[in-house]
Amino acid sequence: MAAHLAASGHTVLAYDPVAECVPEGLTLVDSIEDLAVAPLSISMLPDGPSTHAVVVDGLRAVAVGHVHIVMGTVGPEAVRGIAERAKAEVVDAPVSGSVSMAESASITTMVGSSVAQFEQVRPVLAAMTAAQFHAGPLGSGSAAKLAVNAVLAGLSQAVAEGLVLAEAGGLDPAVFYDILRNSAAGAPYVGYKQQAYLAPETTAVAATVALIRKDLGLALDLAHRHHLDLPGAEAAFGVLEEAVGAGLGRADMAQVLTVLRRRSDVSTHPAIPNDQQMGAHL
């Protein structure tokens, strides 16, 4: 994503203590503090504490008017807490989409900010994303992202359950997946996650089980604070917890399928003979 900023003409300073390679057009700096010379900074970190360390502790020397965009999924409460303590003006703009979509700058971002801040940061976000939505004031972008990922976790669980059910009914998983992808349930996620479900051993990990579990946990924290009952999200979280406990935390989120297969032992179900399948009722 930073490479897209550089390609669009921005001067990009970058800090990453574990970077193995640097995209063309970026200038690596030695510390977070060195980023303070820029008028705008961006972080995309996995949680609130690491984001707090960058924005509050690391960017103490920024000039008045410096804007920091929090693009990681840390939750609305964490974003507001960081904004209260930061010297920079804070905007939250988490993203939704796959790794390949990020590489092609076709992901979506949802922004929590004032209207004026949104207009200020939108050209920068547009260099990295295909769609930019002003969700509302600070924290609204993070709330939108949690709601999106609650749907995503439920969809991931539903696809896995559909595969287990189809296998129990004697269908080849690849055949069923083609049916699913072209059915009324064929959301974009279903299409681009096909190989993650069908051939996980040869498919690059996009979002890990641990990461989506973290995001869904934040979503449920928000729900509980507002006394909401979200049974689907609670069920999906339980399966993700089980997957982490089974050592699948670093696997792709599609591997909730592995948990359901182990629970159900679908391999013990006999396939339906072809003549019986042909006699099924509509």
Look at residue 144 in the predicted model and tell me its pLDDT. Answer: 98
* Sign of the dihedral through C-alpha 49, 13, 131, 192: negative
In the chain, domain spans: 1-137, 143-264
- Residue range 215-245, pLDDT digits in tens: 999 999 999 999 999 999 999 999 999 999 9
Q: How far apart are CA 204 and CA 206, in angstroms?
A: 6
- Where does 1-137 sit in CATH, by number? 3.40.50.720
- Whether 205 has a pLDDT exceeding 70, the answer reads yes
**pLDDT by residue (tens digit) across 100-110?**
889 999 999 99
User: In the annotation, is 145 catalytic?
Assistant: yes
With 60 as the cut, is the pLDDT of residue 246 above it? yes
pLDDT > 70? residue 274? no
Give the active site residue among 87, 145, 193, 214: 145
Question: pTM for the whole thing?
Answer: 0.90
Residue 158, pLDDT above cutoff 90? yes
* CATH superfamily for domain 143-264: N-(1-d-carboxylethyl)-l-norvaline Dehydrogenase; domain 2 (1.10.1040.10)
The amino acid occupying position 239 is V
Residues ≥6 apart with Cβ < 8 Å to 50? 72
Tell me the pLDDT band of 266, cut-offs 50, 70 and 90.
low
Share of the chain above pLDDT 70, in %: 94
Report the pLDDT value the prediction gives residue 18, as an integer from 0 to 100.
Answer: 80
